[in-house]
Structure 1
Amino acid sequence: MPVSLEILLPFFTASLLLALAPGPDNIFVLTQSALHGRIAGLMVMAGLCTGLIGHSAAVAFGAAVIFQTSATAFSLLKCIGGAYLIWLAIQAFRASGTDVPIHQENRPGLFRLYCRGIIMNVTNPKVAIFFLAFLPQFVSPAGGSVSSQILVLGLLFILATLLVFGSIALTAGTLGQWMNRSERIQKTLNRLAGTVFIGLALMLVRSER
């Protein structure tokens, strides 16, 4: 076993607490679930976790160092992510109350929602740098291959994320179904989502390495 239980248990606990801490990803799951329903939130969550697989692999094989050492790469990626969030905000502000999907057939396609999650995650260089700083802390030289240990830890972090984000998606989606019965609340949810997207975009663009 590449990682011992003495390391896995505290790592998993820390991962759960980090996933629970308010941040761009869980806020994104919450807003998308409230707007489009539980399934939509779960698809966004799946996309975010797919992005985390990429970050885990990047750390394991050293690619994340690029974003830590290259100011140009870091700035370019966060600008792409910020622009995407602004685009989502514009879509939310332009939507009328009746545009909020209440029925399954009217919400954005599941693949599109999945892709939203991936883009949201991979265009945030802070995630790559966080993984680069966090995962190696739990690597043991006695555990064998460092890359294998990091990949195992990355998968365990993703499991913690699935548990927390899945709970957020199910809860927010249930509440959203009830709130979407009112056109006024639908409009408010759209405006709130747009404001959240702008806030996330500003946080991302202003972030430093």
Structure 2
Amino acid sequence: MISAEFLITSLIVVLIPGTGVIYTVSTGLIQGRKASVFAALVCTAGILPHLVATVLGLATIMHASALAFQILKYAGVAYLFYVAYATWRDKAAFAIDANPSAKTALALVAKAFLINILNPKLTIFFLAFLPQFIQPGTEEPFFQLLLLSATFMTMTFIIFVIYGFLAHLFRKVVIDSPRVQNWLRRGFASAFATLGAELALTD
């Protein structure tokens, strides 16, 4: 039921750096491995509303309604620009032994979830992506859609965790160099701003 074509296509989609990947990598560098797992988990959870919208047919409504799409799109654009501004302004040193406190974990959860849920491109993507891999003439299309969705989310979480752990491996180098810290901070801010601009130009 889960074809090789679906697994390969999903892997390519997940590996392409987007807001979730950039956020997970930046979290792994700045706050450590444990925090990157938080980020990966919640970024993956942020996909769930888009999958539910696709299953329930809400994505079709959004695709047909320019107003609904634009409202969600510009909310996402505004939030990405806010994240870019906050990242650019945050000149606090990276802490090598930082473990996310309850307050920090809550902030990670909120930011990661908002980054994904405010992206209408995900809903449209799943509307076009998942139905292609449902077997024609199947008696259980709903079950297949759920299975495909669960598989995609599992792959997303695993890949995001790997990204976060790889970022953590380079963390000591970042900690020892304020210059590298400054370069990375500006780089992540620019990446979030670029993704916001890209979303703003989406029709």
TM-score > 0.5 by shorter chain: yes
CA displacement at 1:127 relative to structure 2: 0.5
Structure 2 length normalisation: TM-score? 0.90
Does the CA contact (< 8 Å) of 2:60 and 2:127 recur in 1? yes
Aligned to 2:123: 128
**Contact kept in structure 2, 1:35 and 1:190, CA below 8 Å:** no
**Cross-structure match for 1:159:** 154
Return 111-120 or 142-151, whichever deviates more. Answer: 142-151
Q: Using the alignment, how far apart are the partners of 2:199 and 2:178 within structure 1?
A: 31
Partners of 1:37 and 1:174 within 8 A in 2: no
1:97 CA displacement:
4.6
Q: Are 2:148 and 1:172 equivalent residues in the alignment?
A: no
1:199 and 1:31 mapped to 2: Cα distance?
15
Contact 1:37 1:102 (C-alpha < 8 Å) held by counterparts: yes
Gaps spanning 5+ residues in structure 1: where?
none
Contact 2:34 2:99 in 1 (8 A): no
**Paired residue total:** 202
TM-aligned CA deviation for residue 129 of structure 1? 0.4
Which residue identity lines up with residue 151 of structure 1 in the other structure?
A: L
Q: How does 1:83-102 map to 2 (within 5 A)?
A: 83-98=78-93, 100-102=94-96
Whether the aligned pair in 2 keeps the contact of 1:97 and 1:186 (CA below 8 Å) is: no
Deviation string 1:116-151 (CA, Å, 9 cap, x unpaired) is: 221111111001000000000011244323222111
Report the CA distance between 1:34 and its aligned residue.
Answer: 2.0
Match of 1:61 in 2: 56
Evaluate the alpha carbon distance shift between residue 96 and residue 136 of structure 1 in structure 2; reply closer, same or farther with a 3 A threshold.
Answer: same
1:198 corresponds to which of 190, 193, 199: 193
Q: Which moved more, 1:19-28 or 1:43-52?
A: 19-28
Over aligned residue pairs, what C-alpha RMSD do you find? 1.9
Percent of paired sites with the same residue = 30
SS state of the match for residue 47, structure 2? Answer: helix
SS at structure 2 position matched to 1:109 = helix
